[in-house]
Chains A and B, each alone.
Chain A
Amino acid sequence: MLDTDPTATVDEFEHDLADLDEVELPVEPQQNGGSASITEDEATAALAAVLAPPVEEPTQLGDLEAAAIDGLGARQLPIPLVPILKRKVYGRYRSTGTPYQVELRVDVDGPSPTMRISADYYAISGATVSYFGSMRVDAPVVAITASHVVVKGTGRYTWAAGATRVKVTIPRVPITASPAAATMQHILPSGSPGATYICRYVGPGFRAVLFEQDCQDTVPDPFTSYNTGSLPSGGPARTLSVTTAFAEAGVQLLSTGASNVIATSEAGANSAWSDAELHAAMVRHFSRWRDLPQWAVWLFHAKLHDLGTGLYGIMFDQQGKQRQGCAVFYAGIGGTSVDARRLQAYTCVHELGHCFNLLHSWQKSLATPPQPNRPASPSWMNYPWRFPGGAGAFWSAFPFRFDAPELVHIRHGFQKDVIMGGNPFGTGAALEDLESWREPVEDRSGLRLELEAPASFAYGAPVTVQVKLTSADPRGIEVTKHLRPRNGNVEIAIAQPGGRVVEYEPLLHHCMSDEETIALGGEQQSYADMAFIHYGKEGFYFERPGTYRLRARYTAPDGSVVVSGTTTIRVRPPATAEDVEVADLLFGDEQGTLMYLVGSDFDGLRRGNDALTQIWSEHPDHPLADVARLIQGVNAAREFKQIEADDTVTVRKPDVDAAVGLLAPVLDVGAVRKAAGKKKDDLDKTTAVARQLRTEIAPEAGDTIQGYIVARRREIAAEVGTALN
């Protein structure tokens, strides 16, 4: 590996688009006599055909502004406006030149976008190309204008990159034009430009993988395709092959063109395959097999495994460079009925999913590092018979897709975590863990990050933590003003009592610009914000009594990453029967969502609202009753718009009496009115009330709810600041 940094240097990596040669895949020379027959262009065209809708639908107005069209009154002359349809901007891009090349993946505007960009960097030396490292931007700011797509954010790198901020700019072109090249600009902590790469469009797939299928001589009719509309399912009807199933995930499977029929005798005297026999068959017959990390995978349609007919498939390759081959067994899944074809489609894609280092849905916590299990995920990687409600429920819910975190891994996982022959199975199959957030080797950020929280929380009480930045640098260090996970600049990892480590994921990300900053180090040396981390995308994060260890990581506007020490909190077990009853009422996904949103009228959350009402009406003196009152009191103060089934909009006006009745035991309503009354417009009222909630802490609020009020002060102030005034 070169000892320089592909993100830092400015001039060396710049190339004029006119100098670009044709893009070529780094395909290794042919092994074992197979014949690769498909070209990149052909495969790209095939994939584009798969991904493209039958008729290109206008999704943007192109160069025309919506206001301009709206302004065309009926009496205007009928100007024949034809919107210029623009290409969606997504897929894989690649730079050329030396000493580094970049393969860039842009995933913000295409099918099932994960709203990320990522890249692999290669060091070019003479005639050799070496993998250098990978980068991913998890929460970019995306701007799509009539002329350009611009993606900005701070990347995570597999090395200590110097210029961590990235700006990718791609012109939007008419659908009749060739896709435009992407300009990838790295930005140094000082704000000055780092390396720039001009990356030509390669294709719509985020990954390209060589794919070879071989078949045992006793399997007469291996799987080719299945129409997902043949039986009830959880997704749209379409015809899926293995290749198109992966194309939907953003992976371009390129046939090597080689195909072998393998004799049953290779399975030994018992005619059933052991893992060792399967590995030997792969080495012998897979034309692309090498004991190296490479984007190449082998699927073997076999008859029977040693473990019997109950084994439908296996990713057997767990020696040497793992995950290069898998097999499916027709003794269990054979046949030509629609049920059999559905099972074959599922089994083939499932096993190949393992080759991409995906674990079973209910086993994600066994990965290194672990991530939350998702036993109810209707994904290729779940087991139908383990799905809640059983196999019938699974097939009815199954859309024949990978779930969202799996898509992120496949498309944007760091290369060694995904590539066949890379990290061993299960390693790197998840993202971060608590211990991996090491202190930087060198930290000149001038910032200190602290995570503070009460030593313990009552069972069920909303858990909030204070995120605090400090600097004594007299020059003043710019820091982001909103220090919360939902703003994308703070991450919080939680080590739960059972040892599982999860990263808190907010239900919603706020697209708030990180340009709102304050300077620390001069007059003001520290700044703190309160973060609600009780409920998020993975449900309740503090569901069990016990000790939790927390750690935070902050990414500064200049790309510096500051890590906090570890903070320990304890969730106390319920002490009384009433504690248990109230907790039972509070722990539910609808209640958690209401807690996150600080109330809602949405009919899909009706049972959650009923439970909250039951808490404050039947347990009025319980400390958690105030949580229920606050949520429903704030919501009562809110004007709630709801779109009905017939697309009409109903508006429920604020119910001030109900709001005051619920909030009076929790907040000093008079103080709220006083703070809001001094201001004229709604925004000023909200700001004044939020400030009052933050600085004075509602005097009526008990310990159970103070942190929650401060963490959600803006949402609360936005409703009560105007309604109660």
Chain B
Amino acid sequence: MATLRIDLQGGFDRDAAEIWVDEERRWREDAVTTKFTLDLAASVPLEVPDGPVDVRVVLPERGLEETIEALVAGETYIVARVEDDRLVLEQLAEAPYYL
């Protein structure tokens, strides 16, 4: 097993948010809001098997969702943000940090 960390970054404003991994809902929270000073709303660590997985982030109340195929190996990092009314997902090679 490996750790897949999904950071919900900018553009979240009291949103219900869900994270699905390979069609299984693994996380849900209401009122997800970006912390202005950090550009971070939530940091979600999930245990997943090594190898390729489909990661889907859904904002059901805004009708937004986006999927990314991530190759999980050891610590893996995905960031999600809302830009121009669409979700953008990206896999990063190194751990993002905030300050």
Contacts and interface: CB of A to CB of B under 8 A. Distances in A.
Real binding pair: yes
Interface of A: 307-308, 310-315, 318, 328, 332, 347, 350-351, 354, 360, 363, 366, 383, 385, 391, 425-426, 498
Given A307-B43, A308-B43, A350 B36 contact: no
Interface in B63-99: 84, 92, 94-99
Given A307-B43, A308-B43, A314 B36 contact: no
Nearest to B10: A363
Contact of A312 (B5, B36, B99): B99
B96 A314 contact: no
A332 B37 contact: no
B66 to A, nearest CB: 19
18 contacts: A307-B38, A307-B43, A307-B98, A310-B97, A311-B98, A312-B99, A328-B99, A332-B97, A350-B99, A354-B37, A383-B97, A383-B98, A383-B99, A385-B92, A385-B94, A385-B96, A426-B36, A498-B84
Contacts of B95: 310
Residue among B39, B43, B92 with the highest chain A CB neighbour number at 10 A: B39
B99 A307 contact: no
A117 B43 CA distance: 44
Interface residues of B, number: 17
Contacts of B36: 363, 366, 425-426
B94 A314 contact: no
A311 B97 contact: yes
Contact of B37 (A308, A312, A315): A315
Contacts of A314: 37-38, 99
A350 B97 CA distance: 13
A307 B37 CA distance: 13
**Majority secondary structure, B binding face:** loop
Given A307-B38, A318-B37, A385-B97, 11 more contacts: A310-B95, A310-B98, A312-B98, A312-B99, A313-B99, A315-B37, A351-B99, A354-B37, A360-B39, A363-B39, A385-B96
Contacts of A391: 94
B40 interface: yes
Contacts of B39: 360, 363, 383
A312 B95 CA distance: 12
A318 B33 CA distance: 15
A647 to B, nearest CB: 44
A432 B84 CA distance: 24
B96 to A, nearest CB: 6
A360 B10 CA distance: 12
A350 B94 CA distance: 21
A310 B43 contact: yes
Nearest to A362: B39
A354 B35 CA distance: 13
Interface string B48-70: 00000000000000000000000
Interface string B19-57: 000000000000000001111100100000000000000
B96 A311 contact: no
A571 B9 CA distance: 32
B37 A347 contact: no
A315 B40 CA distance: 13
Nearest to B95: A310
A509 to B, nearest CB: 33
Contacts of A426: 36
Contacts of B92: 385
Nearest to A315: B37
B38 A311 contact: yes
A499 to B, nearest CB: 11
Which 7 residue pairs of A and B lie closest in terms of their CB atoms, listed nearest first? Answer: A313-B99, A312-B99, A310-B97, A312-B97, A315-B37, A311-B98, A347-B99
Nearest to B98: A311
A497 B7 CA distance: 29
A470 B98 CA distance: 53
A313 B97 CA distance: 9
A577 B49 CA distance: 48
A308 B98 CA distance: 10
Contacts of B10: 363
B37 A425 contact: yes
Nearest to A332: B97
Contacts of B96: 310, 385
Nearest to A317: B37
Nearest to A328: B99
Contacts of A350: 99
Residue among B5, B38, B97, B99 with the highest chain A CB neighbour number at 10 A: B99
Contacts of B40: 307, 311
A568 to B, nearest CB: 22
B89 to A, nearest CB: 16
A210 B7 CA distance: 36
Contacts of B84: 498
Contacts of A385: 92, 94, 96-97
A426 to B, nearest CB: 6
Contacts of A315: 37
Residue among B36, B39, B92 with the highest chain A CB neighbour number at 10 A: B36
A425 B94 CA distance: 30
Residue among B40, B96, B97 with the highest chain A CB neighbour number at 10 A: B97
A383 B40 CA distance: 13
